[in-house]
Chain A
Amino acid sequence: MKRLLATWDDFWLAPEPTSTVAVVRVAYGVLLLAWAATLGPDLSPFFSTSGLLPGGHDLPWSWSLLDAVGSDVVTTVVYGLLVAAAVGLVLGYRTRLAAVVAFVAVVSFYRRNPAVFQSGDQALRVFSFYFMFAPAGVALSLDRWRRARDRFWQFPERPVWALRLIQVQLSLIYLFTVWGKVRGTRWNDGTAVSYSLRIGELVRLELPAWLTTSVAVSNVATYTALAIEFAMAVFVWNRRARPWVLTAGVLLHLFIEVTLRVGFFSLTMFLYYLAWLDPQKVRSWLLALARRRRPVPLEAAAVEG
Chain B
Amino acid sequence: MAREAETLDKPGTAGASAAPHSTGGHSPQERLEASAGGRWLLRAFLALTVTAVVVWNFPGSGIRTGVLPVVDRYMNATGLAQNWKVFAPDPTDTTSELVARIEYADGTWEQWRPPRGSDLVGEYRTYRWAIFADRQHGEVWRSLREPLARWLARTHGEGGRRVVKVELISRRRPTPPPGTDGPPPPWEQSTLFILDLSSGTRR
A residues lining the B interface (CB < 8 Å): 5-6, 8-9, 12-15, 17, 34, 38-39, 41-42, 45-46, 50-54, 59-63, 96, 103, 106-107, 110-111, 115-119, 122, 125-126, 128-129, 133, 135, 138, 144, 147-148, 151, 154, 156-159, 161, 165, 168-169, 172-173, 176-177, 179-181, 183-187, 191-192, 194-196, 198-202, 204-205, 212-215, 218, 261-265, 303-304
Contact of B33 among A13, A107, A115, A180 (CB under 8 A): A13
B27 touches A96 (CB 8 A): yes
A161 touches B46 (CB 8 A): yes
Question: What chain A residues lie within 8 Å of B31 (beta carbons)?
Answer: none
B59 touches A213 (CB 8 A): no
Question: What chain B residues lie within 8 Å of A50 (beta carbons)?
Answer: 151, 154
B124 touches A263 (CB 8 A): yes
Q: Which of B15-23, B100-108, B162-170 contacts A (4 or more CB under 8 A)?
A: B15-23
Known: A59-B76, A186-B91. A303 touches B12 (CB 8 A): yes
A157 touches B127 (CB 8 A): no
> Of all chain B residues, which has the CB nearest A197?
B91
> Of all chain B residues, which has the CB nearest A178?
B88
A118 touches B131 (CB 8 A): yes
Contact of B84 among A12, A173, A218 (CB under 8 A): A173
Question: What chain A residues lie within 8 Å of B87 (beta carbons)?
Answer: 181, 192, 196
Report B8-34 CB contacts with A as 1/0, cut-off 8 Å. 100011111110001110010110010
Give me the 8 closest cross-chain CB pairs, A-B, nearest first: A184-B89, A200-B95, A180-B88, A157-B14, A263-B127, A194-B178, A62-B76, A184-B90
CA–CA, A213 and B17, complex, Å: 59
Question: What chain B residues lie within 8 Å of A46 (beta carbons)?
Answer: 128
Question: What chain B residues lie within 8 Å of A53 (beta carbons)?
Answer: 144, 147
B46 touches A135 (CB 8 A): no
Beyond contacts A13-B42, A214-B178: 5 other A-B pairs, Cβ-Cβ < 8 A, are A54-B147, A184-B89, A191-B177, A191-B178, A214-B179
Q: How many residues of B contact A (CB 8 A)?
A: 82
Question: What chain B residues lie within 8 Å of A59 (beta carbons)?
Answer: 72, 76, 81
B97 touches A201 (CB 8 A): yes
B161 within 8 A of A: no
B95 touches A115 (CB 8 A): no
Question: What chain B residues lie within 8 Å of A263 (beta carbons)?
Answer: 123-124, 127-128, 131
B46 touches A192 (CB 8 A): no
Known: A118-B131, A184-B89, A196-B87. A156 touches B17 (CB 8 A): yes
Question: What chain B residues lie within 8 Å of A103 (beta carbons)?
Answer: 79
CB distance from B52 to the nearest CB of A (A): 11
Report B54-76 CB contacts with A as 1/0, cut-off 8 Å. 10010100000000010011101
CA–CA, A194 and B90, complex, Å: 11
Question: What chain B residues lie within 8 Å of A264 (beta carbons)?
Answer: 124
The total number of A-B Cβ pairs within 8 Å is 233
> Of all chain A residues, which has the CB nearest B175?
A198
CA–CA, A183 and B76, complex, Å: 27
CA–CA, A196 and B49, complex, Å: 33
> Of all chain A residues, which has the CB nearest B16?
A304
B199 within 8 A of A: no
B17 touches A169 (CB 8 A): no
B93 within 8 A of A: yes
Show 22 A/B contacts (Cβ-Cβ < 8 Å), sorted by A. Answer: A12-B46, A13-B39, A17-B14, A41-B125, A45-B155, A50-B154, A54-B147, A115-B135, A118-B131, A125-B79, A157-B13, A158-B14, A172-B53, A180-B85, A181-B87, A184-B89, A186-B91, A198-B95, A199-B94, A200-B96, A263-B128, A303-B12
Contact of B179 among A116, A215, A261, A262 (CB under 8 A): A215
B127 touches A262 (CB 8 A): yes
